[in-house]
Amino acid sequence: MSTSHRHAHELSRRAFFSQAGLSLGGIALGQLLGRDARAFDARAQRGPMHAPRAKAVIYLHMAGSPSQLDLFDPKPKLQELSGQPCPQSLLQGKRFAFLQGTPNLQGSPFRFARHGQSGAVLCEHLPHLASIADRLAFVKTVHTSEFNHAPAQLLMLTGNPRFGAATLGSWVSYGLGSLTQDLPTFVVLVSGGKTPDAGKSLWGSGFLPPQHQGVQCRTHGEPVLHVSDPAGLDRAGRAEILEAQRALSADEAARSGDPDAFARLESYELAFRMQTAVPEAFDLSREPEDVLELYGARPGHRSSTEGAPDPRVAARPDDAAFANSCLLARRLVERGVRFVQLFDWGWDHHGVSPGEDIPTNLPIKCRQIDRPITALILDLERRGLLDETLVVWGGEFGRTPMRQNNVPNAPWMGRDHQPEAFTMFFAGGGMKPGVTIGETDELGTHPVADPVHVRDLQATILHLLGFDPFRFRYPFQGLEQRWIGPEDHASIVRKLLA
Amino acid sequence: MRLLVSSILGLGLGAALSAQEPHWSFTPPALRAVPDAGGTWVRNDLDRFVAAAHAARGLAPEPEADRATLIRRVSLDLTGLPPTREALEAFLADASPEAYERMVERTLADPAYGERWATLWLDLARYADSRGFEKDSGRTIWPWRDWVVRALNADLSFDRFTELQLAGDLLPDADDEARLATAFHRNTMTNDEGGTDDEEFRTLAVKDRVETTFQVWMGLTMQCARCHAHKYDPISTQDYYGAYAIFDQTADADRYDESPLLAVASEAQRAELAALDERIAARRAAGGEGSAVTWGAWEKSAVVASSPFGERPAELAWSAAPELVDARSLALELPAGSAAFFRRTLRCAEPTSLRLAFGSDDTLCVWLDGEKMLERPEPRGLVPAQDPLELSLAAGEHELLVQVRNTGGPAAFWCAVDAELASLIAQRSERERALPRVPVLQELPTDKRRATKVHRRGSFLDPTEPVAAALPAAFGPRGEGTAIDRLALARWLVAPANPLSARVFANRLWARLFGRGLVETEEDFGTQGAKPTHQGLLDWLALEVHRRGWSQKEMLRLLLLSATYRQRSECSAEKLASDRWNLWLARGPRTRLSAEMVRDQALLASGLLSRKLGGPPVFPPQPPGIWQVVYDAADWKTSEGEDRYRRALYTYWRRSSPYPTYQTLDAPTRDLCAPRRFGTITPLQALIAWNDPAFQEAAQALARRVAREEEGLEAQLRAAFLHAATRAPRAAELDALLALHARRLAAWSAKREDARRFACEPLGPLEDDQDPVAFAALTACCSALLNSEACWGKG
C-alpha cells in the first residue's frame, strides 16, 4: 500500500471510529454492526504503549500564575536587597509584560519553614499542604517559552502557544479511551469567578476528533448543559420518548444500513443513562459530614466571586468553590472519569489594583486551596486511588523578584510575569513523593540546577500515562502532531519518577 | 535542529521526495477524453467518469431517489433548510419532465442559498463577532458577512470574489464595496491583553493571512514553512516569507481600535447621506453667514510652544488665515503641549443671538470679548460640530478668540458660523458615526512600507535576511518582472496556470454535496494528503470551473443534475459492506445535518424561523453563565421578537465562548481557518436536541402548528413528519408515535400541571379551550420526531 493510500485508509478508519461514536457505548454498537472484537478494540484509538503508572489525572491549574517566590522558593538575598534597584544584568535582553525602567527588588512578606522528612519549603499560608509535604514532588525550575497568559496557558496544556492544538485531557481521552459508560471522559471545572485567559481552547480537542474535548461542568445548578429534562417530563416520560425514537430510528437505520444511525441511537441511550449518573456524581450532599469537613466543601455553595465585576476583590478566604471542585474531582475519578481539569482564576497578582496585592490577596487564595488539595490527596490515598491518579498543581509561568512599577505609587505590592523559573508540584500517579527537584539562582530568576522545561514535564506526564511522548502522535495537515511539539527537545524527568 | 526522523522514515518520505514524477496536484489539470461509459444512465459528462469507475469495479449504480428524498437533499444542500411543505407538494405535483431541473432552479434562487454557502465560507474565513485571545472583545464585522451572502446570492464569480477579498482595496476602481470585501483578512484574531507586544500579534495575524490564503485557495499546509522548509511539499521558508512580505504591508497593527476601519452604509443610509450632502453643498453655494452680523476675516497666531490650556498669552503675532473655511476641518501642525490661536471680529447692528459650532483635536477653549464661553479640556478627536455654542451679542463690535491645544498626535480645528450649515453637518456626522465601522485591509503608503525579513524559526524577535514579496516557486509561473502585491497574488491564485485552485474549489463543492471530497483531505492537496478517488473527474471539473467562468451556481448545477447525485442512498448490505464510505459513488450521498441545519430545521418545521436577511448578530436564548470571560463585562442579552428565531448564521459568535449548541454539534471555534468539520456523535448532542429550551420550544410550536392545520391525531402526526422530515411517516413510525401519544395521555391526565408545563414552557400559554394534556402528548411526539434519524439525516 502506498503512503498516501495508507494515509487515506487511516483517515477513513479514524473517521469511521469517530463518526460511529465508538468511545461511547462501544460494545453494544460493535454487536449492532456485527463487527468483531478486533474492530472494537480500535476504539481505544491508540491504547497505552507501556504499562501506565497513572490511569487518571486531576490537573489543578492556578490561572494567572501564583508567585513561587512567596509560596515555595524564598530567597534570602532577595529579602536582603528588597527595595533596592534591580541589577541591570537581570533586565538586559529581556521582555517584560509591564515592568518599566529599573524596577526595585521585592522580598516576600511571608515566613517560610521546612517540612516533613523531605524538608520541603512552604510558606506560612499553606499549613495543610506543609503537613503532607512528604507526599509531594516539587519542581522549582519549571520554565516556559511564553510570557503572556493565554499563550503560556495554551503551551502548558495544548503543547502549542497558538490556538488550534489538542489539550492534554483530549490526548488522554484519545489515547486511553473511557472507563465509564455513563459519564464524560474529560471533565472541566472552573472556579475563581472567571474562565482562564485562553478560554475554552484550553479544553478543546484541536485537531483530535471533537468527542475528545473536555466537557465543562458546572459545580452547582445543572452540572452538564441540558442534562435535565424539560419541565413537566419525568423519567418514565423520557423513557417512553426514547422508546418511540428507538422504533423510529431503528426502522430508518435498518433501511439505510447507515452505521451512523445506529451510533446516534446508541448516543441517545447513553444520554439517558447520563441523566441519572451525572446528577448523582455531582451531588456533594451524598458525602458524609467528615468528608465535607476534610475538604471544607459545602454542597450548594455559590461563590461570592460569581458575576462580581472584579472577582479578585470579591474573593473570600472561606469560599468553598474550589473545595467543592476538589471533592467533585475525587467523585468523578472514582466513577471512571479519566481526566478532571480544574481551573482556579485569580492568581495574577500584579499589585496594580486592589485585588492584586500579594500581602493581602495571596493569603486569601491560599486559604481557598490549601485544605482542599491536601484533603484530595489524603482522600485519594485512603481510597487506594492515589497510586494511579496523577495530581498536578501549577500556573502558566512564574513571577519576578522585581516589584511591578508601571503604576506610580501604587499602594499594592505585586510582581510581573516570569517565564524563566517557577514552581509546580505533583502527587501520586507514579511521581516520586518527598522530592524537590531543581534550584534557582539567589534571586530566583533562573534555574541553576536541573532546569525543567514545560516540554520536559509534558514528556514525563505522558510517560506516566503509558505513552512514549515522542511516538504518541496524530497525523494532521501534513504533520505528525504531538503534545510535546514537533521537536525532540523534551526529555522525561527521571528524577521525578517513583 | 533534530527532525522527526522516525516519523519521516515511517511515512516513506524518501520515496515521496525522490520520485521523478511531480506530485499529481502540482501540475495543472490537462484536458483528456471523457470516458465512454455509463450508457443511458448518464445525464451529463460527470457521470461518465463515475460510470467508468463503476465498470472497473463491477459496480452498478442505484436508481434515482424518490422525489421527497431528492428535494430534501437538494434543499438542505443548497439552502441549509429542508423544503417547506408547500415546496414539497409543488415538486410532487409537477408532472413536467423538467420538474427536477425546475426545482433545482427555484432552490438556487432562494436567498437562503447565500446564507447556507456563506456559513461554509465563514468557517474558512475564521469569521467571528469577537477578536479572540484573552479579552475577546466584540468586533463589528457582520457587514462583511452580509457582503458574502449578497455576493453568493448574486453568483459573483469566484475569481472576482477572490480578487475583492484579498485585494479589493488595490483595484483601480476600488469602491467601498471592494474595500469592505477585504475584511476577509481582518477576521484574524487580535490580542488586547495587557502587556502584550502589538508587533507580536500583528505578525501573527499576517502569518495567519498567509496560511489561510494558501489553505483556502490551494489546499496547502503553508504553516509548516513558517519555521523550517516544509518537510513534505515543495515550500521553502523563502517561499513562506515571500508570501508573508505580500501581506506585511497593511496598516493594521493589532491596535485596540482595530484601525483602519471602513464605515459601511446600507442602501438607505447611503441615500440619506447623499441627500444631506446635497443640502450641505446647496447651503455652501448660497454662502450665507447670517445677515445680522458682519464678520471680519479669520486670523491665526504663530504656534505657541508651551501653552497651558485656557490661558491666553499676553502677546500674539497674528496673520491672515484664508485656509480656515467655514465648516471645513483644518489640519494643524502642533507638537504635543503647543497650541494655535484663532480670532475673528464681528459687528452687530443690533442685539443678536447667534449659534456657532466648533470641533477640535485635541482641546478647545473659546473666548468672547475676553470671557471664556466654552472649555473642552479633554484630549479627543475632531468631530464636526461636536460643540455647539449659543451667543447673545449686544450691538457693536466683538472679538471671538479660540485656542486649540494638542496633547499629542494629529491636531485639527473646525468652526462654522453659519448655524444652518453647522446643523446640517452635525446631522451628517451623527449619521455617519452611527454607521458600523468594519476593519479592512489598507496598504501602507510607499514611504511607510515595512522592510520584511525572514523570521528565524518563526520568531518575530529574530528577523534575519530581508525578503521581497514573491509568489512561491513550485506552482507555475511566478509573475517574474511584475510588482507582486496582494492583487498580483489574487490573480495568480485564480489563473488557469495555477494547478491547485480550481481543483480545490471543485473538490470543496463536491464534498459539501457528497459528504466527502474526491480528495478526502480537503485541507491538504500536498504529498501527505489523500489521493483523489477519481482524478480524471476532478481534473475535468477543474477545467469546467475555468470554462464556466468560476460560477459557483453553474458548478453546483452540473453536480446536482448528474445521475450520480440523484441516486438513492439505500443499497444492498453487500454493496454497503464493499464500499462503506461510498468512495465509488454507486449510491447516492447520505449525509448528516450540520449544527446550523439541525437548529434551523427545527425552527422552520415549527414555523418559528425568521427569514430576515442580514444585519447585526443576534442573541438567541442560551443558558446563563456561559459567557464568563476574563476582563470583559459583556453580557449575553437575549434577543427579543423575531431575532430569537433567526438562522444560526446570525448568532453572535464569540471565539472564547462559542454558542454551546453549535460547539457540541461540531462547529469549529473559528480561531483559525477550518476547511472541513469532523462529525461526531455524542450523548451531549442528544441532550441538546432533547432538552435545550430552543428545541423544546420548537417541538411545542410544531405541535401547535399541526394541531392548527389538521383534524385528528393521525393527520397531525403525518403533517409533523412532512414539516420536519420531508416525507410521510411509514406505518411502523406512525404506530410508534401513536403508542407514545397514548401512553403520555394516560400519564399526564393524572398530572395536568406537568402536562401544562411540558406543553407551554418556554413557548407560552395555550388558548383557554386547548387541553394541555393533549398538547403535551403531541409535543412529546414532535420531540421524538425531531430527535429521530429521519430528521438528523438527509438521504
Distance CA B47, CA B562 (A): 6
Interior angle at CA B438, CA B435 and CA B443, nearest 5: 130
Mean pLDDT for chain A overall: 87
Give percent of chain A with pLDDT exceeding 70.
Answer: 90
Task: Provide ipTM, 2 decimals.
Answer: 0.84
Confidence bin at B9 (pLDDT 50/70/90): very low
Question: Looking at CA atoms only, how far is residue A249 from chain B in angstroms?
Answer: 5
Q: pLDDT, tens digit, for every residue of A423-439? A: 999 999 999 999 999 99
Residue B527 lies in a domain: no
CB contact under 8 A, A224 and B684: yes
Q: How far is CA B318 from the centre of its chain?
A: 54
C-alpha cell, B497: 496556470
Residue B629 lies in a domain: no
Residue B126 lies in a domain: no
Task: Provide the residue range defining the domain that includes A373.
Answer: 49-223+282-496
Q: Does A252 touch chain B (CB under 8 A)?
A: yes
CB contact under 8 A, A275 and B687: yes
Residue A268 lies in a domain: no
Distance CA A420, CA A95 (A): 11
- B271 shares a domain with B234: no
Distance CA B689, CA B602 (A): 10
Whether residue B249 contacts residue B443, with contact meaning beta carbons closer than 8 Å, is answered with: yes
Mutation for testing the A interface, residue in B72, B735, B789, B791 having most A CBs under 10 Å: B789
Q: pLDDT, tens digit, for every residue of B319-362? A: 999 999 888 889 999 999 999 999 999 998 888 888 889 999 98
Residue B645 lies in a domain: no
Of the two residues B678 and B529, the one the predictor is more confident about is B529
- B336 shares a domain with B427: yes
C-alpha cell, B192: 488586547
- B308 shares a domain with B174: no
Lowest mean pLDDT among A5-14, A385-394, B444-453: A5-14
Confidence bin at B289 (pLDDT 50/70/90): low
Beta strand residue intervals within A274-395, DSSP E = 339-345, 389-394
Output the CA torsion sign for B422, B428, B431, B432.
negative
Mutation for testing the B interface, residue in A2, A4, A405 having most B CBs under 10 Å: A4
Closest chain B residue to the Cα of A145, Cα to Cα:
B459
**Is A101 a residue whose pLDDT tops 90?**
no
- B419 shares a domain with B288: yes
Q: pLDDT, tens digit, for every residue of B291-315? A: 678 888 999 999 998 899 999 988 8
Domain end (from B435, B462, B483): B435
- B277 shares a domain with B409: yes
Domain end (from B435, B458, B476): B435
Residue A3 lies in a domain: no
Terminal-to-terminal C-alpha distance of chain A: 43
- B368 shares a domain with B309: yes
Task: Provide the residue range defining the domain that includes B292.
Answer: 267-435
CB contact under 8 A, B683 and A228: no
Look at the pTM and tell me if it is higher than 0.95. Answer: no
Lowest mean pLDDT among B71-85, B192-206, B780-794: B192-206
Residue B416 lies in a domain: yes
Angle between helices B142-153 and B112-124 (to 10 degrees): 120
Residue B530 lies in a domain: no
Residue window 182-211, chain A: list those with CB within 8 Å of chain B.
184, 190, 193-201, 204, 209-211
Lowest mean pLDDT among A60-64, A470-474, B40-44: A470-474
Q: pLDDT, tens digit, for every residue of B590-621? A: 988 999 999 999 999 999 999 999 999 999 98
Residue B622 lies in a domain: no
Of B12, B193, B592, which is closest to A148 when you measure between CB atoms? Answer: B193
Confidence bin at A33 (pLDDT 50/70/90): very low
CB contact under 8 A, B526 and A478: yes
Lowest mean pLDDT among B164-178, B269-283, B413-427: B413-427
Q: Please choose, from the candidates B516, B540, B520, the residue with its C-alpha nearest in 3D space to the C-alpha of residue B531.
A: B520
**Is A43 a residue whose pLDDT tops 70?**
no
CB contact under 8 A, B730 and A224: no
Interior angle at CA B650, CA B645 and CA B652, nearest 5: 105
Of B747, B776, B789, which is closest to A253 when you measure between CB atoms? Answer: B789
Helix (H), strand (E) counts: chain B: 29, 17
Confidence at residue B287, expressed as pLDDT on a 0 to 100 scale: 66
Residue B140 lies in a domain: no
Mutation for testing the A interface, residue in B684, B688, B786 having most A CBs under 10 Å: B684
Distance CA A331, CA A297 (A): 13
Residue A255 lies in a domain: no
Which residues does chain A have within 8 Å of residue B571's beta carbon, measured at their own beta carbons? 257
- B318 shares a domain with B428: yes
Helix (H) or strand (E) run with residue B293 in it: strand B293-295
Of A8, A232, A249, which is closest to B757 when you measure between CB atoms? Answer: A232
Give percent of chain B with pLDDT exceeding 70.
Answer: 96
Closest chain A residue to the Cα of B227, Cα to Cα:
A486
**Is A31 a residue whose pLDDT tops 70?**
no
Residue A416 lies in a domain: yes
Mutation for testing the A interface, residue in B682, B697, B717, B752 having most A CBs under 10 Å: B682
Whether residue A159 contacts residue A165, with contact meaning beta carbons closer than 8 Å, is answered with: yes
Mean pLDDT for chain B overall: 91
Interior angle at CA A171, CA A167 and CA A174, nearest 5: 135
C-alpha cell, B592: 448528516
The mean pLDDT of A375-396, rounded to a whole number, is 98
Distance CA B614, CA B671 (A): 22
Q: pLDDT, tens digit, for every residue of B428-459? A: 988 988 999 999 999 999 999 999 999 988 88
Which residues does chain A have within 8 Å of residue B196's beta carbon, measured at their own beta carbons? 97, 148
Give chain A's domain count.
1
Any idea which residue has 523570521 for its cell? Answer: B455
The 3-class secondary structure across B680-693, one letter per residue, is: CCCHHHHHHHHHCH
Whether residue B252 contacts residue B198, with contact meaning beta carbons closer than 8 Å, is answered with: no
**Is A479 a residue whose pLDDT tops 80?**
no
The mean pLDDT of A343-365, rounded to a whole number, is 95
Distance CA B627, CA B190 (A): 19
Helix (H) or strand (E) run with residue B718 in it: helix B713-725
3-state secondary structure of B24: helix
Closest chain B residue to the Cα of A250, Cα to Cα:
B789
Give chain B's domain count.
4
Q: Does A268 touch chain B (CB under 8 A)?
A: yes
- B71 shares a domain with B99: yes
Residue A195: which CATH number?
3.40.720.10
- B459 shares a domain with B409: no
The mean pLDDT of B415-423, rounded to a whole number, is 85
**Is A171 a residue whose pLDDT tops 50?**
yes
Which residues does chain B have within 8 Å of residue A215's beta carbon, measured at their own beta carbons? 684
Question: Looking at CA atoms only, how far is residue B184 from chain A in angstroms?
Answer: 19
